[in-house]
Structures are given as C-alpha cells and as structure tokens.
C-alpha cells in the first residue's frame, strides 16, 4: 500500500520479492478478499484493500505508540514515581528539582506528598511511595538508607543587628524571639539542646520550616533552620552559620524488599547531585 510495488515493498521489509507475493496471496486466501490488481510491475489496491487499510493503519499507530512508550520507559521517561517527603523538603527543594526532572518526561506519572518523617517510613514500607525523604534514625530494619549531614544555619531578618555577625553563638540569641519548629521532632530537640540555658523572649512555635522563614522575613524573630528549606529565601532573610553543629541533614529511604527501579535510581542520584551542588558539597 505504501510503495505500490512488490519489489520496493520487499526491499523496505528486508525480504525477497517472492516472499511478499506469497504473503499477499496467502492473506487474500485467508480473508477471502481480492486486495490488489496487478498491472505489470505495479499493484493497484482494490476498494476492499482501501477499507482494510484504514483499520490496519490505526493498528500500526497503536503499535507505534507502544514502541514509543517502551523507549520512554527504557530512558526513564515513562512509568510511575511516587515520592513521600518530610514537609521541609516537600515544600521547597524537592518541588524545585522535580520540575526540572520532569522536563521532557511527559509520560512519567508522578506524585509528591509532604508528611511527617514517621509517615514517610510507613509510606515506603507499605509500598505507597517508591522513595522517601525523612529525618530520623538511619538504622531501621527493612530499609535501604542514604544520608547527608549538613549544618543548620541561623535565619535573621534583613537589617537586624545579628546580621552584622559572621557567625552566631547561642549567647548572641539571648533576649531574641526564637521561632521554633514543632516540638517533638528530632531537629527541634537538637535545637533545644543547643540553646539550653540561653534566656530568650517567649518563643513562637510553627510546624513548617517555610512558615518559620516567612515569619523571619517579616521580622517576627530569628530561627535555626535547615539550609535546604532556606533555598528561595536568600533575598528575604540573612543566613549565618551557627557556632554549634546541629545536624540538619535528612535520609533517603527505600524499601529493602522492593525490586530496583531505574526511574527511582535516576531520580535519587540526580536529586543528590542537585542538593549537593546547592549546599556547596561540590
């Protein structure tokens, strides 16, 4: 139908011309249809052939779609990717990276949910998430964990006196309102230990790092924060190192009982590269 000649069709299909003739003859016999008029070297399709061709063409379009989808899966551009992350990442760094990662991957179905770290582990263990990012102990059985340790920073309002210091010590925060993250999290406990004995003004407690940074930007107080959450606030607050190391890193969590996934592997490795570059590890 495409070439109008047996010989050309044979060349296109990488078979012999007699093979094409035999296939057409067998097909006509099987269907009971007369598909081509033969006029010398030319073959002219009959009306029956034209009608059948419309359906065959649709089928080949469908096969082409399957082939393209298979190619997308092979280059990690299709499939599903489900991510669970603690809110500090789910509301900042992860969406920024995910937008870049999804570029040129129109067939990749993705979900990103922000939940407390304990629920991240549950989501990964139950199969509701392919990969998770959380704060917490790294020795939980049944999980494959990768981690980065990074120092927390102090977020200070623009124009504040503390912004003139190169490094903030606990005693520098005396008489300041501290914007604390939700009590009970591992990070908030680390901050509490670092500030033990420092007389501060009544604190302001929030659940999300993004909320704390917004309050700092409005002059409501200062906060000890993970630097990953501060991405995007560089022109709204002043960030200074803290004299005491407070681990503000996080864990990458995967189930030890789940088969490897090429798309998850690619997402994980590219996200770590993105994170490390922003945090100055590279």
CB of 115 within 8 A of CB of 208?
no
Q: For residue range 200-221, list pLDDT tens digits in order.
A: 887 899 988 889 999 999 999 9
* pLDDT bracket for residue 276 (50, 70, 90): confident
Cα separation, 253 vs 137, in Å, equals: 11
Residue 87 has pLDDT above 90, yes or no: no
CA distances from 34 to 3, 20, 43, 58, 254 (A): 18, 16, 12, 21, 60
Residue 156: predicted pLDDT: 96
Neighbours of 238 (CB within 10 A): 20
Task: Find, among 13, 107, 122, 1, the residue nearest to 57 by Cα.
Answer: 1
Residue 54 has pLDDT above 80, yes or no: no
Q: For residue range 99-139, list pLDDT tens digits in order.
A: 999 988 887 889 999 998 889 999 999 989 999 999 877 77
Please report the domains of the chain, with CATH numbers, ordered by start residue. Answer: 6-74 (1.10.10.10), 78-149+249-279 (3.40.190.10), 153-241 (3.40.190.10)
Task: Find, among 234, 225, 175, 170, the residue nearest to 202 by Cα.
Answer: 175
CA distances from 193 to 45, 86, 196 (A): 85, 22, 5
Residue 207: predicted pLDDT: 86
Cα separation, 71 vs 172, in Å, equals: 58
- Name the 3-class secondary structure at 85: strand
Beta strands in 172-249 (DSSP E): 177-181, 201-206, 223-225, 237-241
Tokens of 138: 């790294």
Task: Find, among 64, 75, 85, the residue nearest to 108 by Cα.
Answer: 75
Residue 73 has pLDDT above 80, yes or no: no
Residue 141: predicted pLDDT: 85
Cα separation, 242 vs 54, in Å, equals: 71
Cα separation, 281 vs 227, in Å, equals: 13
- Name the 3-class secondary structure at 195: coil
Residue 28 has pLDDT above 60, yes or no: yes
CB of 249 within 8 A of CB of 147?
yes
Q: What is the DSSP-derived secondary structure letter of residue 75?
A: T
Residue 76 has pLDDT above 50, yes or no: no
Residue 249 has pLDDT above 90, yes or no: no
Question: What's the predicted TM-score (pTM) here?
Answer: 0.66
């Amino acid at each position: 139908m495409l070439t109008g000649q047996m010989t050309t069709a044979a060349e296109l299909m990488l078979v012999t011309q007699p093979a094409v003739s035999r296939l057409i003859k067998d097909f006509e016999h099987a269907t009971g249809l007369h598909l081509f008029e033969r006029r010398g070297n030319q073959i002219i399709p009959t009306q029956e052939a034209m009608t059948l061709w419309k359906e065959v063409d649709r089928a080949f379009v469908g096969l082409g779609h399957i082939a393209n989808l298979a190619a997308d899966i092979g280059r990690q551009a299709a499939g599903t990717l489900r991510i669970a992350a603690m809110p500090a990442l789910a509301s900042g760094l992860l969406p920024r990276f995910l937008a870049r990662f999804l570029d040129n991957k129109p067939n990749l179905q993705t979900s990103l949910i922000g939940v407390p770290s304990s629920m991240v582990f549950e989501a990964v263990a139950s199969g509701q998430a392919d990969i998770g990012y959380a704060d917490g102990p790294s020795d939980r059985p049944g999980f494959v964990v990768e981690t980065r340790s990074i120092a927390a920073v102090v977020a200070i309002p623009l124009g504040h006196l503390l912004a003139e210091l190169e490094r903030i010590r606990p005693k520098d925060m005396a008489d300041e309102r501290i914007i604390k993250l939700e009590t009970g999290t591992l990070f908030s406990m680390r901050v509490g230990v670092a500030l033990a004995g420092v007389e501060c003004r009544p604190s302001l407690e929030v659940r999300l790092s993004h909320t704390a940074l917004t309050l700092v930007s409005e002059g409501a107080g200062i906060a000890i924060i993970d630097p990953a959450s501060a991405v995007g606030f560089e022109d709204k607050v002043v960030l200074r190192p803290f004299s005491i190391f407070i681990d503000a890193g996080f864990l990458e969590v995967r189930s030890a009982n789940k088969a490897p996934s090429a798309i998850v592997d690619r997402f994980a490795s590219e996200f770590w590269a993105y994170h490390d570059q922003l945090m100055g590890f590279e």
